[in-house]
Amino acid sequence: MFFDLSGKRAFITGGASGIGLAVARRFAEAGARVVIADMQDGQAVATELGGTFVHLDVSDSAAVLSALAQNCEQEGKLDILINNAGINGADGVTIEDSDEALTRKLLEINTLGVYHGLKHGPAHIRDGGAIINTASLGATLMFPGSGPYSATKAAVINLTQMSALELAPRKIRVNAVAPSFIRTPLAQDDIELFEKMSYNATAAQRIAEPEEVAAVFHFLASDDASYMNGQVINVDGGMSLGFTNVQLDMISQELTSGG
Ligand SMILES: NC(=O)c1ccc[n+]([C@@H]2O[C@H](COP(=O)([O-])OP(=O)(O)OC[C@H]3O[C@@H](n4cnc5c(N)ncnc54)[C@H](O)[C@@H]3O)[C@@H](O)[C@H]2O)c1
């Protein structure tokens, strides 16, 4: 079977909701035993998937170490680590006007959360395993008003690339997935904007569902991705390509109407 994960153990941060939950469901379907590690309760879904739930704040280095150590002591080493927990901090203001407390929180969860996984994870992963970090298209495509968030995700890309080289001797592959706008609880407050942006600015002309992102995690986690290392895969419906026909039509309509 392609992308078979049977017998593999996967630890998924932020696995109780959105993209992480879709990843957990997909991995379980592919035969993996999943550990959902999240700040919010994921016990019911972990039980439903035949896995386990660990309450975890990824911004707490000691807690990440202890969660990994305790879990592996009970169930053995991991094959897959998904550093996915994150928060949205795109509040539409410039870096100059940005809120420092929010910026610190973003750095602590989005960047240090991944750093803690990369620092403490390898000792608890078998040689030949896979790590996948959740970045964002916003790390490389600038959306004004999301400066601090973008920076936290750019750092995730950098950490991914460095770890890929550092862990290569153990044949542990480290990749990142960079989604554009995905319909998850994180996007709920801005869903109309996200949908409109996706319609206008992607070749796909629509927002993505979390399952469409989980499919890419699945490939990267599987042995079929054996030659994929240090890569950042945009899951963006073509948003990073440039102008869409919808955007060009809007501009030409504006020109013909004398706007
Ligand atoms: N939804 C999007 O449009 C989008 C786009 C690009 C990147 N992302 C990234 O995808 C990842 C998943 O986001 P999502 O859209 O599924 O959002 P979500 O809110 O549905 O899920 C995020 C999960 O992370 C958990 N979490 C938050 N802070 C935590 C912490 N300190 N410790 C442990 N768990 C914590 C939450 O409880 C939640 O279950 C995030 O890193 C986010 O930045 C999302």
Q: Is the pLDDT of residue 258 over 90?
A: no
Residues with CB under 6 A from ligand 1: 13-14, 16-20, 38-40, 56-59, 84-87, 109, 113, 134, 136, 179, 181-182, 184-187
The pLDDT of 115-126, averaged and rounded, is 98
- Residue 1, pLDDT score: 83
Q: Is the pLDDT of residue 192 over 90?
A: yes
Q: What is the pLDDT of residues 240-256, one digit of tens each?
A: 999 999 999 999 999 99
Phi, psi of 23 (to 5 degrees): -65, -45
- Residue 120, pLDDT score: 98
Q: What is the pLDDT of residues 40-99, one digit of tens each?
A: 999 999 999 999 999 999 999 999 999 999 999 999 999 999 999 999 987 889 999 999
Percent of the chain with pLDDT over 90: 97
CB of 6 within 8 A of CB of 74? no
- Residue 100, pLDDT score: 96
Q: What is the pLDDT of residues 12-37, one digit of tens each?
A: 999 999 999 999 999 999 999 999 99
Domain 9-256 classified CATH 1.10.3210.10? no
CB of 213 within 8 A of CB of 179? yes
Pocket test for ligand 1, best of 186, 216, 240 (most atoms within 8 A of CB): 186
The pLDDT of 97-121, averaged and rounded, is 98
Q: Where are the alpha helices (DSSP H) in the chain?
A: 18-29, 43-48, 61-75, 100-106, 112-120, 147-166, 191-201, 210-221, 245-256
CB of 165 within 8 A of CB of 208? no
Hey, whose CA ends up nearest to atom 19 of ligand 1?
186
200 HSE (CA, 13 A, CB side)? 11
Distance set, CA 209 to CA 53, 105, 200 (Å): 24, 26, 17
